[in-house]
Structure 1
Amino acid sequence: MKITVSVTIHPNDEHAAAVVRDVLTIERDHLSSDTFGLHLHEAKDLLRVVQETMATEQARAALAGAAVCASCGAAHRHKDTRPIVVRTPYGVLHLDSPRWWHCLCTPATAATFSPLAELLPERATPELMYLETKFAGLAPYGAGAKLLAEVLPLGRRLHATAVRLHAQAVAQRLEDELGAEQFSFIDTCQREREEELPRPDLPILVGLDGGYVHSAAQRSRTDGWFEVIAGKIVPAEGKPTRFAYVQTYDSKPKRRLYQALRAQGMQDNQCVTFLTDGGEDIRDLPCYLNPQSEHLLDWFHITMRITVMANMAKSLQPPPPAGDTDSAGLPSAQVPRPDLAGQIAEDLQRLKWLLWHGNVFRALITITQITVGTEIARDGPEQARMAKAIGEFDSYIRANTDRIPNYGERRRAGEAISTAFTESTVNQVISKRMVKKQQMRWTPRGAHLLLQIRTRVLDGRLDADFHRWYPGFAHCPPPAEDLADAA
């Protein structure tokens, strides 16, 4: 059996006859599981020849329409012809691009022009750029290049460097679309928010947390990492949105967060709850983004620090047993040695209870008592480490005093008190792609640009960006849940 696949070309001119071209012939002798249907190499050949036929006819029709001057109708004079190369998912196209002289009736800055080169300014089609960018966000650059080359007739070898450069070009285009950074994004007064704006939806929840990736400029084990901030915006209704950036590279973090909130429908009179770990790097990020916002300290980071100090207290030296003597030879019963470990454990439990109920004033008093007790009994390395941890915790609570609510009331009301939903975002956006099993190092710029792509791919927003840039772009993506599982 022989099967011939033909392409029929119908010109725009109704009086012109259709052209039929045979593009591929397939032969089969008998039916079996290995001869059933199209083979992969046959499908690649079919796509390649159909692409060449279609692209050649489109280029010919475009050149025929631009061969005459639009003002006077005179034919453009031909100067020379230069080939151009256009990369597509279905092969590499080598097209003849003629260069013509501009007509004298129309003033122009250049004497000649190449209509085909002007119609195809990018030497890669948007669909190929989209596929390379999407796979770059889901898998390592080399793995994405091998997968595309396995299933598509690309026409030449696709290198991991090309995938990386194309993905970074798309991410840089997205970065250029961001507006300028501002100190405050509140540009409405209270009267406008109360009288002119419509009734807002339920509050929006925003969680911010950090992760670390390997640095390409590593010179020692201490400077081998840099921090990446990841966040998740959870509206009352609809799908959540992820975002991430490298804080040492990004110059517009507030603008990025503000744009993400606006994309979720945030109004100036809408309540927004920010939950962070209280670190210096993101402490001021939510400020002046929304007049109705509240910035809260994540309870998980508080109780985690208290748990660490409680474990450290267990290593403190217990009081000597009865009958022992001190360094002066006096009986231990005459030397007052309180049970420091037990006392600190009780104080830490009280401290945790006070912070859970939002009583910051009494919590700071309790921290001072623990500090004084540790300073008095500092006679070993364990006490010194404990005193240092208590001092750091004291500074941490004082820096976030205004951000500690009554966690018990919020928990009973069903409101969020922890950034646990953001921990999964950090693992999905950062760790799976850039840390776990990915033993490569990153520059801050490379990591930042890749994060912009990965968050859009996981959220299913990359298609909308390409539709905005190229109105004729048509692609049917899988659901965002499937992408998240694949990543």
Structure 2
Amino acid sequence: PTVRLKDYRLRRIQSLHGTLTIRVPRLMRTGRVEPVSPLLAGSARSTAEYRLLLARLGAWMSFRAAAGLVEELFPQASGGCADTVRRRIFDEAERISARPLGKARTETPARSIDLGVATTFVRSCATRGPRHHEVLIGIGVADNGRSHRIGGAIAALEMPADLIVDALRQLGRHDATAVTAFTDGDKMLRRYLLRANIEERPVLDWPHLARRVQVAKTTAKGLRVLTEREYRARPAIGRLLDSLHWRLWNGQTDRARDALVQIERRLRAFDAGRARSGRTAAPARRLRTAIGNFADYINGQSSYLVDYARRQRAAQPVGTSTSEGLANALVNRRMNKLQQMRWSTAGAHAVVTVRANFMNQASLKTPTTNRQAA
């Protein structure tokens, strides 16, 4: 079809330097009807820099604070209100989600990729239904120094595994790339990994496992002794917990179970003797509960435990040390800790998506030289 000029019209465009009034040509097509081209489609009322700045600021601070900051830094530009920033966040998240799965951003294929996935929660604003939204987060680090972060509300994602597929593709995955996945033992995350064509069995993240042992050690230090039997049992429990830590580190699952059984036997000393007050009985009760829960956890995750000491000696990662930091940087700082907000499913998904995209853009400017593994 041919395009001819029909007339002109005035349009007000919002920019960082004020509101501009420009003459925009109105074009008319003649001939056979075809899909509308980008030249004729759309009616943007603001510049791309203005929209991107509002989206970036809204991703890192509250919407009201972002609008006030734009008005303070650019007096001639109207920062709008919180609703304006919110709309820019939603528009940017929709643009990111609508992007097709592109090619790898690096021409050098990765020989190996370490991928850590986890979930976190944000408060829900719904009066009925779940009180929290579950958010999928993850970070992949390739041997070529590239890193890629993913994030999104699971309820708003049609196929959560597509985020993992896109992350691996951006890092340069090909048929011969070895992908090592780390999880906290969640079965749902393992299903996502299978749907992303990661057939190798995921490894239980060592920092997550060691943190559970450390909680038991801290609880054991608070045991109150009243009898001679309890006095002998407390140091024995401490030694068994140290042995439990060492056996798990060296992949000795059966011996770790034996250590848990011996700890439970030693704790029987705190059940006998004279009556205890609530203050003296609470540490033993908490430790008994922690040991029981940890035993169930080990029994359910035994097939995903590996010899972490051997992997470390072979210069292989034993976990993704950045997973916990990613949860704080991507979700908690903006949506949980500093600002006690409640979110809708769409709002939580939009903010997490935009934050992850901006963090990936920043990592392109300063790529990592070494793997970030614990």
How high is the TM-score relative to the length of structure 2? 0.77
1:303-452 alignment runs, 5 A limit: 303-318=210-225, 320-321=227-228, 339-374=232-267, 378=271, 380-452=281-353
1:126-205 alignment runs, 5 A limit: 126-152=48-74, 156=78, 158-177=80-99, 201-205=110-114
Structure 1 residues 254 and 99, CA gap change in structure 2 (3 angstroms):
closer
The letter for the 2-side match of 1:92 is T
* Offset at residue 270 of structure 1 (A): 1.1
Q: Which runs of 5+ in 2 are unaligned?
A: 102-107, 273-280, 368-374
Coordinate RMSD, CA, aligned = 3.8
Q: Deviations over 1:222-274 (max 9, x none)?
A: x8654434322111113311222234543422111111111111113211112
1:195-344 alignment runs, 5 A limit: 201-217=110-126, 226-280=133-187, 282-291=189-198, 293-318=200-225, 320-321=227-228, 339-344=232-237
Structure 1 residues 461 and 255, CA gap change in structure 2 (3 angstroms):
farther
Q: Deviations over 1:384-412 (max 9, x none)?
A: 33222112111211222122111111122
Q: Deviations over 1:424-455 (max 9, x none)?
A: 32232223333443343333321221111111
For the Cα contact (< 8 Å) 1:141–1:163, is it kept in 2?
A: yes
For the Cα contact (< 8 Å) 1:459–1:480, is it kept in 2?
A: no
Structure 1 residues 260 and 99, CA gap change in structure 2 (3 angstroms):
closer
Q: Which runs of 5+ in 1 are unaligned?
A: 1-64, 68-75, 180-198, 322-335, 463-477, 482-487
For the Cα contact (< 8 Å) 1:319–1:339, is it kept in 2?
A: no
* Offset at residue 91 of structure 1 (A): 3.6
Task: Decide which structure has the larger Cα Rg and report it.
Answer: 1
Q: Distance in 1 between matches of 2:16 and 2:230?
A: 78
Q: Which has the higher contact order (CA 8 A, sep 6+)?
A: 2
Structure 1 residues 93 and 424, CA gap change in structure 2 (3 angstroms):
same
* Offset at residue 366 of structure 1 (A): 2.5
* Offset at residue 382 of structure 1 (A): 3.9
Q: Distance in 1 between matches of 2:331 and 2:56?
A: 16
Structure 1 residues 216 and 142, CA gap change in structure 2 (3 angstroms):
same
Structure 1 residues 316 and 461, CA gap change in structure 2 (3 angstroms):
closer
2:194 partner SS: coil
The letter for the 2-side match of 1:255 is D
How high is the TM-score relative to the length of structure 1? 0.61
Q: Distance in 2 between matches of 1:420 and 1:101?
A: 57
Q: Distance in 2 between matches of 1:383 and 1:354?
A: 23
Structure 1 residues 163 and 317, CA gap change in structure 2 (3 angstroms):
closer
1:287 partner SS: helix
Work out whether 1:121 is the aligned partner of 2:43. yes
Structure 1 residues 353 and 139, CA gap change in structure 2 (3 angstroms):
same
1:66-81 alignment runs, 5 A limit: 66-67=4-5
Q: Deviations over 1:141-187 (max 9, x none)?
A: 233323333444765452221111112122023224467xxxxxxxx
Structure 1 residues 93 and 350, CA gap change in structure 2 (3 angstroms):
same
Q: Distance in 2 between matches of 1:262 and 1:434?
A: 29
Q: Distance in 1 between matches of 2:66 and 2:81?
A: 10
Structure 1 residues 262 and 144, CA gap change in structure 2 (3 angstroms):
same
* Offset at residue 288 of structure 1 (A): 4.7
For the Cα contact (< 8 Å) 1:235–1:264, is it kept in 2?
A: yes
The letter for the 2-side match of 1:273 is T
